[in-house]
Chain A
């Protein structure tokens, strides 16, 4: 269906190789959350990887900062239609966190302070595709953007990059998270416009 909106010309200029369909380039940093922003003190913070057998690996804030740090420079795409190009982060690769973890799981659920969850295939979190980040544009990550630390999975819509993340649970099967149960797509590929369930 090719309905034309009379009198609409639009603002072009986005690079179609970098701005996925239906997205526009934002220069600020919008916020999407469904509730208040949790405030988590780094003294109380811990990150835990739990395997399908229940084995847990945990890091305190200082231990986490002592791991190898990487500096992803990536484009991010939010389901509410903004994309932000050339963002700079500092954090720990999920590969580093999983290095000593024994697991045959195919999926992961990211858990956050405040109770939110999101699910991802484990293969989308490994091989240099995902990080737990604590710094954005040279500054400690602000609470409304998920600080002290959030997951960063730039090749999926940004709700998959769980804010206020506190752990990953590895699971044999796919278990829909909070957003996915609320009607968002299970996988969330911005280049295929997988915004809502059924897209």
Chain B
């Protein structure tokens, strides 16, 4: 299994006022499969360590990777990574980890991607890897987010740069003015309208807070999707959806 290696913050981008993309320089990093994550370890001066998992946001490539971390107020690790970590600072990472919640670029099947809050991160990696490799598999993304201000990767995750990738934004708290759907939780009707029908036997990837993943996976099954075609990544009880 991969061992710990040093990662240095090279650059950053604010996705929202509470979520930051970290561009990490990791010499010797050999790339990853989209959907995988890394473990990040922080070490205090007295040797105390804390570790958490973060999905990789970028396409596969050598020597660097990008993570997007959502601030969990009162948390131990994410406030450091979002608010304190500066270019030139170093953490340790190991990975890539996870062998199931991955998309194979060679797989021609249509794909339904459902992300809640920061659960959109590994889905972005899949879209970027599809772009990098000139993939043709049809993607439909359902991205559940609180409000327009909470949107990650605006301008990067969408049909303009990726023919064959549809993005549906499901606002849960406040929708842009004039929105017909308004703001409400992602529903089975949304999955039905904006996903692929079960007859197409798409691969479904669902990622985000645990409660969100449970609800969406149950909804996909109710629509007739084969449970074995539904892959999930549960981030924990926290939020952002």
Contact = CB atoms under 8 A, between A and B. Distances in A.
B1 A34 contact: no
Among B42, B80, B90, B91, residue most surrounded by chain A Cβ atoms (within 10 Å):
B42
Nearest to B206: A36
B44 A8 contact: yes
B227 to A, nearest CB: 5
B210 A30 contact: yes
Given A30-B237, A144-B210, A10 B89 contact: no
Contacts of A115: 228
B44 A31 contact: no
Nearest to B47: A2
A183 B98 CA distance: 7
Interface stretch (A44-52, A129-137, A191-199): A191-199
Interface residues of A, number: 38
Interface string A99-125: 000000000000000110000000000
Given A114-B227, A199-B1, A6 B218 contact: no
B100 A182 contact: yes
B228 A24 contact: no
Interface in B87-104: 89-92, 97-101
B217 interface: yes
Interface string B205-227: 00000100110011011000001
Interface string B149-191: 0000000000000000000000000000000000000000000
A30 B234 CA distance: 9
Contacts of B210: 30-31, 144
Interface string B47-62: 1111111000000000
Given A12-B48, A22-B49, A36 B217 contact: yes
Contacts of B214: 31, 37, 144
Given A5-B90, A36-B230, A183-B99, A198 B1 contact: yes
A28 B84 contact: no
B43 interface: yes
Interface string B1-12: 100101000000
A82 to B, nearest CB: 8
Given A1-B4, A37-B214, A24 B50 contact: yes
A169 interface: no
A4 B45 contact: yes
Instruction: Give 10 nearest A-B pairs by CB, closest first.
Output: A36-B217, A198-B1, A196-B1, A182-B99, A8-B42, A5-B42, A11-B76, A31-B210, A183-B99, A28-B237
23 contacts: A1-B4, A1-B92, A3-B92, A4-B43, A5-B44, A5-B90, A7-B89, A8-B42, A9-B44, A10-B76, A31-B210, A35-B217, A35-B230, A35-B232, A37-B218, A80-B236, A81-B51, A81-B52, A114-B227, A144-B214, A183-B1, A183-B98, A183-B99
Given A10-B76, A35-B227, A36-B220, 7 more contacts: A7-B89, A9-B44, A10-B44, A31-B210, A38-B227, A181-B99, A183-B99
